[in-house]
Amino acid sequence: MTTKQGLKIAVIGGGSSYTPELVEGFILHYKELPVRELWLVDIEPGQRKLNIVGNLAKRMVEKSGLPIEIHLTTDRRQAIAGADFVSTQIRVGMLDARARDESIPLKYGVIGQETTGPGGMMKALRTIPVILGICRDIEELAPNAWLLNFTNPAGMVTEAVLRYSTVKSIGLCNAPIGLIKQVSAKYNVAPDRVYAEFVGLNHLHWITRIDVEGEDKLDDMLADTTSYSAKNVPAREWNPEFLQSLHALPSYYLKYFYMTDAMLAEQLEAFKQGENRAEVVKRVEEELFELYSDPDLKDKPQQLEQRGGAFYSEAAVNLMRSLYNGTNDIQTLNVANRGILDFLPDDASIEVNCVVTKTGPLALPLTKIPPMAKGLIHAVKTYEQLAIDAAVTGDRSLAIQALAHHPLVPSVEVAILMLDEMLEANKEYLPNFFGQVASV
């Protein structure tokens, strides 16, 4: 890393509404992470948002008085060349594709969600080839750079990079940092006084241990059945008897597996009312970009926390700081399994606590793995690995097998009918399946 000159950071998807949070982090932690150049990259259809976010970023930096250069570009190779860190926060097909991911499965009586189930698979099929294209640029133009991915489905994208490229990559999610912040606020302690052990996959994890200043608080957290939710997942309460018998705090995404009927009913009712999460996000984003356009705005607006991905960027800045300084602190990351979960392949991406060293994260051994979770982890990982290979090869038979073996898909017939409709709806973004030039 170019310590004397400062760091070059490229953000692919720089026109995202999350970017001001990222810029705020770079400003707040400049002494530990001396950013020289911040390159915000987007595609031509995202040029308007890139300009709005980029100009806000420039105003934020100008107010700070720090010598950080902000560059806006649609040329990702220029941004990647010589970078120390590359961060990806892209949405292939934008929010219109998300709306289809959420709505088409509902026609077949299946959960419609952008990272879980059929919607998550379509997002992976669109996204993985694009991310691997970015990786080819990194291999050529910045071979020593770290790729920090918080493009969803983060675990699958991370695993695709680990398996199909030589890029040094780590996956991130906002759920773990959100839990730490929640526990920190609940007990009025600093975040570094909280230790939580995460076991599982991205958007499919269980918390088996919560220590606050050395005291076990897991039972306290389990007693609060409304705890640990998110803006983008309905806040249906957990069954208290179930939580006590599980003796682990499930990710809020596990509601789709543990409360399938109720969650599906809620989605169908919302769909009848012409409402889905993609439409909500569109409205929130429009409001945010209207705020960002204000030439007098020079700080990240608090309204950004209304987005379901609040704290993603804070997690990214924390990870960059730790890698750059070799702090050896503990963070929850998506990394290669390498024996941590002995019932999964070594190259499987898992979400666990890691010690972050200067040479990369080292996954920590787990003290407790809920035996009842193993079957679901294994089933979802089987689906994920089939879907990853389908995304890379464009092999329809692999896509059928992936969807048919997902726990939320009720039958082979439904899997094939749903796959046909979703592939056709995403044709523009699936060149590996349809043999055409991608538009992104």
Catalytic residues: 253
* Ramachandran angles phi, psi of 229, nearest 5°: -120, -175
Residue 152 annotated in ligand binding: yes
Strand partners, 24: none
Tell me which H or E stretch contains 390: helix 374-393
Q: Is 33 left (phi over 0), alpha (psi -120 to 50) or beta?
A: beta
Say whether 124 sits in a helix, a strand or coil.
Answer: helix
- DSSP secondary structure of 160-200: HHHHH---EEEE--HHHHHHHHHHHHHHT--GGGEEEEEEE
Cα→Cα distances 304→17, 287, 309, Å: 8, 10, 9
Residue 338 annotated in ligand binding: no
CA angle 382, 384, 389 (to 5 degrees): 100
What is the spatial distance between Cα 415 and Cα 56, in angstroms, rounded to a whole number? Answer: 44
Asked if residue 210 lies in contact with residue 194, where contact means CB atoms within 8 angstroms, the answer is: yes
**What's the N-to-C CA distance of the chain in angstroms?**
30
CA angle 79, 310, 162 (to 5 degrees): 50
Please report how many Cα atoms fall inside a 13 Å half-sphere around the Cα of residue 198, on the Cβ side: 28
Residue 354 annotated in ligand binding: no
What is the spatial distance between Cα 126 and Cα 169, in angstroms, rounded to a whole number? Answer: 19
Dihedral angle sign, alpha carbons of residues 432, 408, 169, 316: positive
- DSSP secondary structure of 232-294: TB--PPPPHHHHHHHTSEE-GGGHHHHSHHHHHHHHHHHHHTT--HHHHHHHHHHHHHHHHT-
Residue 98 annotated in ligand binding: yes
Sequence ranges of the binding site for Mn(2+)? 173, 203
Sequence ranges of the binding site? 98, 152, 173, 203
